[in-house]
Structures are given as structure tokens and as C-alpha cells.
Amino acid sequence: MLNKQHQWRKRKELFTAYHAWDCNSVCVGETGRNLEKRLKEHQYAVKRMDDKNGISVHAWKKSHRVNWNESRVLKMIPNYFHRRLTVALIIQSSDTTSNLDKGLELNSTWTPFLQELYRQLTHGVRAFL
């Protein structure tokens, strides 16, 4: 029987975090593709120094290497909008992400509601970041 993390690496509809070896920075992203495929895409972006890929930019600007083996599926979220919202909330509430953009633009009017939603959605995830 496969462990849960291995099963998630094969499934779609998730968001992930990637750790750098040389710092505490993470890159959080969402994808509808499986983790194995997305990791290969990011590895290729780093190899060719893609300036439109947050992991690549961080790796080259800071001379950091990504610990691909520590990349993890943080949470399975089948709903596209919920997945995008969760990733945006994590990026915008953390000072350790190396993402190039902030994800969905969130109106500050929603901040109190979204902070509570973020707390609920990331229960058990925050310890990883």
C-alpha cells in the first residue's frame, strides 16, 4: 500500500510547497497537474534560468539550490477557486515565500473574513511553511 504523500504525488488538484536548501524560503503554488510533472517543469525552469518562474529566479538570484526531495503536497483542494484562494492567502500572509506574484488579488475589505478562512483552510499546513 502506498503512503498518503506518494499517492498525492500522482494525483491532481493540489497545491505544493518547495523548500530551498540554503534558506527558509518556500515557493507555494497550485496546479491541476500531478506533483511529479510540476516538479519536472520547475527543474527545467531552473536549469534554463527562466526569469518568469519564482523558483528559478530565487535559485539564481540568491545562488540557492532547491531541495526537490522536500517538496510536498500541502493540501488537496479539488475546487479550482478554493485552491487559488488558499494559495493566495498563504503567499500574502507569509514573509518566507519566494513567489513572483501574490496570486489572486484580494480586496482588503475581505481581510477579516479571509484571515479566518485562511486559518481554517491551512489547519495543519502552517507548521510546514
Give the containing element (helix H, strand E) for 100: none
pTM of the model: 0.70
For each of the domains in the chain, give its residue range(s) and CATH number, in order of start.
4-121 (3.40.1440)
- DSSP assignment of 51-99: TT-HHHHHHHHHT--EEEEEEEEEEE--SHHHHHHHHHHHHHH-SSB--
Q: pLDDT tens for residues 59-116?
A: 888 888 888 888 888 778 888 888 888 888 877 777 777 777 777 787 778 777 777 7
Task: Please state, in angstroms and rounded to a whole number, the distance separating the CA atoms of residues 106 and 129.
Answer: 21
